[in-house]
Amino acid sequence: MSETESKNFIEQMIDKDLAEGVYDTVHTRFPPEPNGYLHIGHAKSILLNYGLAQKYGGKFNMRFDDTNPTKEKEEFVESIKADIAWLGADWEDRLFFASDYFEQMYEGAVKLIKKGKAYVSDLSADEIREYRGTLTEPGREDPGAGRSVEENLKLFGEMRDGKYADGEKVLRARIDMASPNINMRDPVIYRVAHMTHHNTGDKWCIYPMYDFAHPIEDAIEGITHSICTLEFEDHRPLYDWVVRELEYERPPRQIEFAKLYLTNVVTGKRYIKKLVEEGIVDGWDDPRLVSIAALRRRGFTPESIKLFVDLCGVSKANSSVDYAMLEYCIREDLKLKRPRMMAVLDPVKLVIDNYPEGKTELLTAPNNLENESLGSRQIPFGRELYIEREDFMEEPPRKYFRMFPGNEVRLMNAYFVTCTGCVKDADGVVTEVHCTYDPASKGGNSPDGRKVKGTIHWVPAGESVKAEVRLYENIIDEEKGVYNPDGSLNLNPNSLKVLKDCRLEPALADAKAFESFQFVRNGFFCVDYKDSKEGAPVFNRIVSLKSSFVLPKKED
């Protein structure tokens, strides 16, 4: 396979531009609107734009497209900055806001008016839609299109000065009301909006439309390749028209790629906002969501998201990816990096009747069987332990190899024990399991070579750490799909299960926020940064240990 063939279509276009001298460098940007938290789909765009700048030795800008003050908040600005920094996309000293350029955008609009390329319209939004025509019928000329340059300059100045109410007048570009591309039928480029802006306060009462502002921002910053998602493909002629009519010397080039869609997840901001407002989730970073902040809180790593984005690839064709692939990526990232610890999520006490009372010994356990470099740790072992309730049955089914009366099992990294019975409360619930141990089997191996089929994990009762553990399922009921016929979400009532009295080995007592571990047999878990307190940790399950997902083979 040649070098050119191994590159995605965007890289091939960049190579061509550099070879032909269209540009002598590569300068990209990520331009979110601060009207919500970023999600996994945005991660693809962030890492793509940053990755291209890195690959070609160029620059990457971070820019907020804050041209719509009705939906924007400082909270969203700060969350977006944190997400991008966490993903490792370094904008260095190039943090910008579209609102930094409002004066230049206004001057650009004045320039278009003077060239006869823009005019003030009195039509309402509904009337503009009506005049625009349809996909099969051309639009009709706006009654304001015949105004003189002088009158348009005067009216546009009065719009800026606050003389008109919201929606009373707009500025439209004069292009072609008969264009087959509806975006080119004299689009609105400025509107009146008496709103306080999070960055400019009350300085402006007119705001540029995105399709007008965005190419100007790119051109001012010297962006060479404006990488955006596929829905902007039909807007590209307008993008090119703006930079051409405003006569920028080295206009940027817009290139579109397919969005990243995950199956059975909620990414729509209005849906997430509703879930937050109704208290169904505890914020935009609830671990059941796929906002970048939520994935981070749940325990996903930047490396796992980068692997996911790489596996998805870059193409022009929209497609959906199974959430299981994202889970595959976090397992792949963590399995050799994180220690394998013992945690009992549904504890029942195990009493070793022939173990000396009051005695405690330290047993050695490897931190990760697949990565010896992570070393080992010591775990206190005594007469009373906790095991998982499901690891004992009085009357087991066939092929049940864990604890039941008369059966011998291995306690992980400890001893062979033989179950002798159990104690129950008045309701018949098992409160204690009893056994005896073989002192000669220390380390989990018998000197006489006898084999046992079952190995179970445990934690010392006296030294164990009490913790809350949260088990997550998809917030969407996958069998029913994302949406109901009325447009509401099909929520899974079992998306969160909270276990209050879990017992962990003592080494986890000092676990810090965002630290992650593999809990033997139970999955990968992360310390919740929001709800954990000293002495009372909360762990989120990132992902279970196994999945039916198989990574598709690459075609030759």
Boundary-marking domain end, from 206, 229, 248: 206
- pLDDT, tens digit, for every residue of 76-113? 999 999 999 999 999 999 999 999 999 999 999 999 99
Contact by Cβ (8 Å): 52, 14? yes
Q: What DSSP assignment string belongs to 211-266?
A: HHHHHHHHHHHT-SEEEEEGGGGGGHHHHHHHHHHTT-SS--EEEEE--EEETT--
Provide the 3-class DSSP secondary structure of residue 66: coil
CATH, residue 144: 3.90.800.10
Let me know whether 117 and 198 are in one domain: yes
What tokens appear for 217 in the block? 């921002």
CA-to-CA distance for 11 and 549, rounded, in angstroms?
30
pLDDT at 163 over 70: yes
Let me know whether 240 and 151 are in one domain: no
Alpha-carbon torsion, ordered 366, 370, 371, 372, to 10 deg: 50
Place of tokens 């399709």: 211
Let me know whether 218 and 265 are in one domain: no
pLDDT at 359 over 50: yes
Contact by Cβ (8 Å): 215, 269? no
Let me know whether 368 and 385 are in one domain: yes
Q: Is residue 2 in a domain? A: no
Helices (H), 33-141: 40-55, 74-87, 102-114, 125-132
Share of the chain above pLDDT 90, in %: 86
> For residue 268, what pLDDT is reported?
85
> For residue 553, what pLDDT is reported?
61
Q: Is residue 1 in a domain? A: no
- Domain total of the chain: 4
What is the average pLDDT value for the chain, to the nearest integer? 94
Nearest by Cα to 324 from 302, 336, 308: 308
DSSP-derived pairing of the beta strands 408-411 and 416-424: antiparallel
- The pLDDT-based confidence of 2 (bands split at 50, 70, 90) is very low
Q: Is residue 3 in a domain? A: no
Q: Is residue 4 in a domain? A: no
pLDDT at 72 over 90: no
> For residue 5, what pLDDT is reported?
55
Share of the chain above pLDDT 70, in %: 97
CATH, residue 520: 2.40.240.10
- The pLDDT-based confidence of 550 (bands split at 50, 70, 90) is low
- pLDDT, tens digit, for every residue of 509-530? 989 999 999 999 999 999 999 9
CA-to-CA distance for 255 and 15, rounded, in angstroms?
13
> For residue 473, what pLDDT is reported?
93
Let me know whether 490 and 555 are in one domain: yes
Number of Cα atoms under 13 Å in the Cβ half of residue 414: 26
Angle, CA of 408, 519 and 388, to the nearest 5°: 40
What tokens appear for 467 in the block? 């913790």
Q: Is residue 526 in a domain? A: yes
- pLDDT, tens digit, for every residue of 293-339? 999 999 999 999 999 999 999 999 888 899 999 999 999 999 999 99
Contact by Cβ (8 Å): 98, 66? yes
Let me know whether 478 and 493 are in one domain: yes
pLDDT at 134 over 70: yes
> For residue 22, what pLDDT is reported?
96
Please, what is the angle between helix 74-87 and helix 302-312, to 10°? 80
Contact by Cβ (8 Å): 98, 58? no
Let me know whether 490 and 427 are in one domain: no
pLDDT at 282 over 60: yes
- The pLDDT-based confidence of 4 (bands split at 50, 70, 90) is very low
- The pLDDT-based confidence of 382 (bands split at 50, 70, 90) is very high
Let me know whether 378 and 356 are in one domain: yes
Q: Is residue 42 in a domain? A: yes
Place of tokens 């996911």: 308
Contact by Cβ (8 Å): 376, 367? yes
Boundary-marking domain end, from 404, 435, 457: 457
Q: Residue 385: enclosing H or E segment and its boundaries?
A: strand 384-388
pLDDT at 556 over 90: no
Q: Is residue 281 in a domain? A: yes
Q: Provide the β-strand partners of residue 470.
A: 498, 540
Q: Using CB atoms within 10 Å of the CB of residue 5, give its burial: 0 to 12 exposed, 13 to 18 middle, 19+ buried.
A: exposed
Q: Residue 421: enclosing H or E segment and its boundaries?
A: strand 416-424
pLDDT at 3 over 70: no
CA-to-CA distance for 54 and 4, rounded, in angstroms?
18
- pLDDT, tens digit, for every residue of 360-381? 999 999 999 999 999 999 999 9
Q: Provide the β-strand partners of residue 536.
A: 533
- The pLDDT-based confidence of 549 (bands split at 50, 70, 90) is low
CA-to-CA distance for 294 and 529, rounded, in angstroms?
11
- The whole domain housing 147 covers 102-206
Let me know whether 483 and 554 are in one domain: yes
Q: Residue 422: enclosing H or E segment and its boundaries?
A: strand 416-424
Let me know whether 413 and 443 are in one domain: yes
Boundary-marking domain end, from 418, 440, 457: 457
Place of tokens 């299960």: 497
- pLDDT, tens digit, for every residue of 399-457? 999 999 999 999 999 999 999 999 999 999 999 999 999 999 998 788 788 889 999 99
- DSSP secondary structure letter of residue 98: G
Q: Is residue 64 in a domain? A: yes
Let me know whether 84 and 111 are in one domain: no
Let me know whether 398 and 412 are in one domain: yes
